[in-house]
Amino acid sequence: MKKLFQSLTPFWGGTRDWSQHGGIAPLETKPEKERAMKNAHERFGTLEFTKRMKDTTTEIRLRLDRVIAEVEEKRNCMLHLISVVGGDSDVGAIWGAVNEQSFFTICGPEIEPLTASLGEGAQCLRGTLNIAGRKPFRHLVAISAELAKTRPGTDPGGQRTVLCDDDAMFVLYRVAQRFGLPVVPEWAGWFREELGRRGAIKRLVGQGCRPVLVTGTKKMFLKWIGTALRQKRIPFPEANGPVQWRVSHDFFRVSETGAEAEPVQLTSGEDKAVRRPGRNEHEDCVESF
């Protein structure tokens, strides 16, 4: 099982240089020495599900490589994402439990035990993992309805955006992509600082990732941009055209050496939801607010 877990674990690693984001550090995270692990299988957590019927009790325990959870006061919890691997029958049972809004008990090296559900409207994706010389394993990823709404155009009036990473560039890109904001990568540090100053970003519980919850509407973010431009807290773009984004992809994989993987380079011309703001567009934004 140890070799299996090592082959299936695409975890993040390495350190970040926050000087490129205006020197704005992320929310508090564990020191690198505390996060680093030599054995990939040790990074897995566990998901437990118990179903009691009239005459029988079914207990299922699967390995968990990703989880995003929101913990409110009095230990009220809400799951936003789970990613588990296991046998076909066990994964099928978890799929059914998600659709029934059942509760799971989750624990791991980065989180304390908690019991929560994905809630109503959760979505599941299942696939097969083929390992040479071994019986195929099943992989299930389930996300909450709220996390699913962060896709561009799904819920333009939403106020809560769940993100799997706290990287300043990643946060700005994903929020801009969801709401279609006219922004440029150079504003990532300012935006991250503004979120913290206004209490609009909150740390979520994560296993294998560093999730955050961003609170705000499109109208509110546009007002921030207009005010910052008027006060010259952010530079006005010198020209129109596509924007090159170097977005962190730690959530998905790291290099074989364990160092941080290279960021993904995206061009706004390939994604209509994120674009370089034109001068007239920003002048309208400044005048409106």
Which DSSP string do the residues of 123-148 spell out, in sequence order? EEEEEEE--TTS--EEEEEEE-HHHH
More confident of the two residues 276 and 129: 129
Query: Per the structure block, which two tokens stand in for 1?
Result: 């099982």
At residue 146's C-alpha, the angle toward residues 128 and 114, to 5°, is: 75
Predicted confidence band of residue 76 (pLDDT cuts 50, 70, 90): confident
Determine contact, residues 108/207, Cβ cutoff 8 Å. Answer: yes
Q: Please compute the mean of the pLDDT values over residues 48-76 and round it to a whole number.
A: 86
pLDDT of residue 24 exceeding 80: no
State the Cα–Cα distance between residues 189 and 103, nearest whole angstrom.
38
pLDDT in tens, 85-102: 999 999 999 999 999 999
Q: How many CB atoms neighbour CB 17 within 10 A?
A: 7
Q: What's the farthest any 2 CA atoms get from each other in the chain?
A: 71
State the Cα–Cα distance between residues 276 and 17, nearest whole angstrom.
24
pLDDT at residue 43 in the model: 80
pLDDT of residue 207 exceeding 60: yes
**How much is the mean pLDDT over the chain?**
77
Query: Per the structure block, which two tokens stand in for 11?
Result: 């975890």
